[in-house]
Amino acid sequence: MKSLTINASQRESVGKKATKALRNAGQVPCVIYGGDTIVHFSAPEIAFKNLVYTPDVHTVVIALDNGTKINAILQDIQFHPVTDRILHIDFVEIFDDKPITIELPFRTTGNSRGVRNGGVLRFNLRRIKVKGLATKLPDFIEGDITNLKIGNKLYVTDVASEDFTILHPDNTVICMVKTSRTAVDEEEDEDEEETEGGDAPAAEAPAAEA
């Protein structure tokens, strides 16, 4: 999984007045949980641009001004209801030997047969919740939709891996190919393929002369 480094300053004052002063100065108050102690820090709002405003998932190295570096992952984020500015971020410290729970983005590979025949690919999940060691988690989860015909579904069990545990019921659908008004019947399509690949029809014999 990709990692980002955020240069930050550890906070000593954590009251409402100090927090308001940080925000007015363009800083985002943050907290790291999960370690031996809770760590309060702040960083410029622009420092979180590549972490927050992206479909990708990253681990984060919080580089504090006292020389301490903490490996973490974003847990929760609060935005201003009007301006959408970042108000607060919670992180969880991660360790090489302790699994974490995270939602990884899902991407498809292949060209669905059902879509080629006019069907529409519909997604039930854009992110898949998994649990595993941060060092073994991928940047995203891929699923091959090549063989999906109209009406077929791709389940979470189809993208299972030894590197992580999927935290959804086995019957959870990731995506499916739904029919549409322009869809071609699958059986007709198969017949056409067989005809195209078969032997050419024999030429008619010339008529006998009288």
Res. 187: pLDDT tops 80:
no
Q: Categorize the per-residue pLDDT at 188 as very low, low, confident or very high, splitting at 50, 70 and 90.
A: low
pLDDT of residue 92: 94
- Kindly tell me if the per-residue pLDDT of 6 is higher than 80: yes
Distance CA 132, CA 100 (A): 6
With a CB cutoff of 8 Å and minimum separation 6, the contacts of 171 are 155
Q: For 15-68, how does the pLDDT look when each residue is reduced to its tens digit (9 = 90+)?
A: 888 888 889 999 999 999 988 899 999 999 999 999 998 888 899 999 999 999
The pLDDT of residue 184:
64
pLDDT on residue 198: 53
Average pLDDT over residues 86-90: 94
Q: Produce one character per residue of 84-118: b if its CB has 16 or more CB atoms within 10 Å, e if not.
A: eebbebebbbbeeeebbebebbbebeeebbbbebb
What pLDDT does 36 receive?
87
Do residues 151 and 121 lie in contact, with contact meaning Cβ atoms separated by under 8 Å? Answer: no
pLDDT at 181: 66
Give the pLDDT confidence score for residue 208 in this predicted structure: 47
Q: Quick one: tokens of 29? A: 């108050």
pLDDT score recorded for residue 179 = 86
Find, among 107, 98, 109, 148, the residue nearest to 128 by Cα: 107
pLDDT at 35: 86
pLDDT per position as a tens digit, 120-177: 999 999 999 999 998 899 999 999 999 999 999 999 999 999 999 999 999 999 999 9
Higher-confidence position of 188 and 86? 86
Reported confidence tier of residue 205, pLDDT bands at 50, 70, 90: very low
d(CA 149, CA 115): 8
Q: Kindly tell me if the per-residue pLDDT of 200 is higher than 90.
A: no
Mean pLDDT, range 67-88, rounded to an integer: 93
